[in-house]
Amino acid sequence: MKILTVVSHPRVHSLTFAVTARFTQGLADAGHETEVLDLHRSGFNPVLWEADEPDWSSDHKIYSPEVEAEIERMKKYDALAYIFPIWWYGLPAMLKGYIDRVWNNGFAYGSNKLHHKQLLWLGLAAAPKEHFEKRQYDKMMAQQLNVGMAEYVGISNSKVEILYDTLDSRPEIHERLLQQAYFLGLYYDHSKAVTL
C-alpha cells in the first residue's frame, strides 16, 4: 500500500519526529511505500485565504497553486497517516489548517469524496491515559476525527491512536512509545491484531 504520512511539529528533534521515523520504519518493514510530508519544513501555509475558501455554488473551483499541489500529492496515495502532538485536546493549528485548505469542496467532500482506504491519526499526549479517560477526551477526539472528519470525506476505516506520557523522560517509557509507533506502522493495514 502507498501511504502519505503527514507530520506536524515545529522541532525536528522532537519525540513526534522520532515516532514518525519508527512508524515509517514499521511501514517499510511491512512492505508499504510512504512519503513523509513535514508541514513545517515544507513551508506550508496553514492560513485559509479567499483563494481556498470553498465555493458553495460550484464543485469545480480551482484552488491556489499550493493547495492544488497538495491535492495532487494526496491523489498518489492509497491511505493516510497523520502524526502530531495533541494540543488543547485536538490537532495543532498547522495540521488543522492543512486539512481546512486541502480537504476542500469538490475534492474531499461535495461532488467527490477522498478515495483513501484508511486513515490513522497518531497523537502524542503529555498526560497519562487515565487523565484522558477520566473526562473522555480520548472518546471526544475519536468522535471528532473518525466521524466528524474522516467519515465525512468518505474514509470509514479511520482510527485514532494516542501515545500517552510523552513528557516522561525515563528511557524505558521513551522506548515503549517508539515501539508502539513501530508496530502501528508494521500493522498499519489493520489486518492483524496488535496489543500495544
Q: For the chain, what are the domain ranges?
A: 2-186
Q: Global pTM?
A: 0.94
Residues 65-84 pLDDT 10s: 999 999 999 999 999 999 99
CATH 3.40.50.280 fits 2-186, yes or no: no
Eight-state DSSP code of residue 76: T
State the CB neighbour count (10 A cutoff) for residue 15: 19
- Residue 37: strand, helix, or coil: strand
Q: Label residue 59 by pLDDT band (50, 70, 90).
A: confident
Q: Around Cβ 69, how many Cβ atoms within 10 Å?
A: 13
Bridge partners of 84?
Answer: 123
Band (94; pLDDT cuts 50, 70, 90): very high
Q: How many residues does the chain have?
A: 196
163 contacts 122 by C-beta, under 8 angstroms: yes
CA distances from 145 to 46, 73, 121, 142 (A): 18, 21, 8, 5
Query: Looking up cell 485559509, which residue turns up?
Result: 48
Q: What is the mean pLDDT of the chain?
A: 94
Residue 92: partners with Cβ closer than 8 Å, 6 or more residues away: 8, 9, 84, 85
